[in-house]
């Protein structure tokens, strides 16, 4: 498990629930609320049954904040636009293991382009699908919902998969989907240190800053 190291708990917003008509201001508000990075949910209507935004939209938001951007590529054929995501200011590109034929080549290409490489696993995909490429991964994302929409229920049966991955991999493990006040502790206790949240951040009646602080405290207490 040498080579990679993990960072402390990070709270990562998904911008899916944000106001798309003013995404730049929304990024600035997230940074002001204390998030550690921002995840862009890139959907192509093919790999998942939903459609969001391309590199130009993300690039236009880069100047509004300085927190790191990661592109969660829920697309068929992510190899096509890898350099455009790097040019848009994403320091980490997350490719789904199910979306490419040559995962080893794609992860290596992401690093060649100067970005960090991550791999995502759909709920039905076992850890075994990526054990032979963990040396090329700067992080691994375990989906805790079936990708495509926000506001879905957390799949707690993913926690044994997070524990299995944590036993094999010392790097950053991210979880995404249904993360909120009642679910974040389970994911953090299983070994995840990057926690993506969408609706739980935007629906907190006490606002974004309270939501970030609350989720961080719960995760840190459980980790
Ligand atoms: C789903 C996305 C998630 C989603 C999270 O495919 O990858 O990032 O937006 O939203 P919540 O936290 O509402 O489940």
* Contact (Cβ atoms closer than 8 angstroms) between residue 65 and residue 34: no
pLDDT at 6: 80
* Ligand 1 in reach of 174 Cβ (< 6 A): no
pLDDT at 4: 63
Active-site residue, 79 included: no
Quote the ligand 1 centre to 15 CA distance (angstroms): 9
Whole-angstrom Cα distance, residue 21 to residue 196? 22
Quote the ligand 1 centre to 120 CA distance (angstroms): 13
Quote the ligand 1 centre to 209 CA distance (angstroms): 19
The angle that helices 208-222 and 23-32 make with each other, rounded to 10 degrees, is 50
* Ligand 1 in reach of 41 Cβ (< 6 A): yes
Nearest-CA residue for atom 9 of ligand 1: 150
User: Which DSSP symbol is given to 22?
Assistant: G
* Contact (Cβ atoms closer than 8 angstroms) between residue 33 and residue 67: no
Q: Which of 36, 41, 44, 138 is catalytic?
A: 41
In this prediction the pTM is 0.97
- 212 by Cβ neighbours in 10 Å (0-12 / 13-18 / 19+) ranks as buried
Atom of ligand 1 nearest to the CA of 148: 6
**Over the chain (223 residues), what is each successive 10-residue block's mean pLDDT?**
74 97 98 98 98 98 98 98 98 98 98 98 98 98 98 98 97 98 98 98 98 98 96
* Ligand 1 in reach of 198 Cβ (< 6 A): yes
Active-site residue, 41 included: yes
pLDDT in tens, 15-37: 999 999 999 999 999 999 999 99
Quote the ligand 1 centre to 39 CA distance (angstroms): 10
DSSP of 126-156: -GGGTGGGGGG-SEEEEESS-SS-SSPPP-G
Instruction: Dig out the tokens for 64 from the structure.
Output: 């509004």
- 203 by Cβ neighbours in 10 Å (0-12 / 13-18 / 19+) ranks as exposed
What percent of the chain stands above pLDDT 90?
97
Quote the ligand 1 centre to 150 CA distance (angstroms): 4
Please count the CA atoms within 13 angstroms of the CA of 20 that sit on its side-chain side.
9
Atom of ligand 1 nearest to the CA of 151: 13
Nearest to 187 by CA among 217, 163, 165: 163
Q: Which of 44, 172, 176, 214 is catalytic?
A: 176
Q: Which of 183, 198, 203, 204 to mutate to test the pocket of ligand 1 (most atoms within 8 A of CB)?
A: 198
Q: CA separation (Å) from 170 to 63, 88, 191?
A: 32, 29, 10
């Amino acid at each position: 498990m040498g080579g990679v190291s993990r960072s402390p708990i990070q709270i990562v917003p998904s911008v899916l629930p944000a106001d798309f008509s003013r995404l730049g201001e929304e990024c600035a508000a997230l940074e002001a609320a204390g998030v550690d990075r921002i995840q862009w949910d890139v959907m192509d209507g093919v790999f998942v049954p939903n459609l969001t935004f391309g590199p130009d939209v993300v690039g236009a938001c880069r100047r509004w904040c300085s927190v790191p951007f990661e592109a969660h590529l829920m697309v068929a054929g992510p190899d096509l636009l890898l350099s455009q995501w790097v040019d848009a200011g994403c320091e980490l590109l997350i490719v789904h293991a199910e979306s490419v034929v040559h995962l080893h080549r794609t992860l290596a290409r992401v690093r060649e382009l100067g970005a960090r490489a991550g791999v995502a696993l759909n709920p039905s995909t076992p850890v075994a699908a990526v054990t032979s490429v963990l040396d090329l991964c700067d992080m691994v994302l375990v989906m805790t919902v079936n990708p495509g929409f926000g506001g879905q229920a957390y799949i707690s049966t993913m926690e044994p998969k997070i524990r299995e991955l944590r036993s094999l991999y010392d790097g950053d493990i991210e979880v995404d989907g249904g993360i909120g006040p009642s679910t974040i502790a389970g994911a953090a206790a299983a070994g995840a240190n990057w926690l993506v949240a969408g609706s739980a951040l935007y629906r907190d009646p006490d606002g974004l800053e309270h939501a970030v602080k609350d989720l961080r405290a719960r995760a840190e207490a459980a980790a």
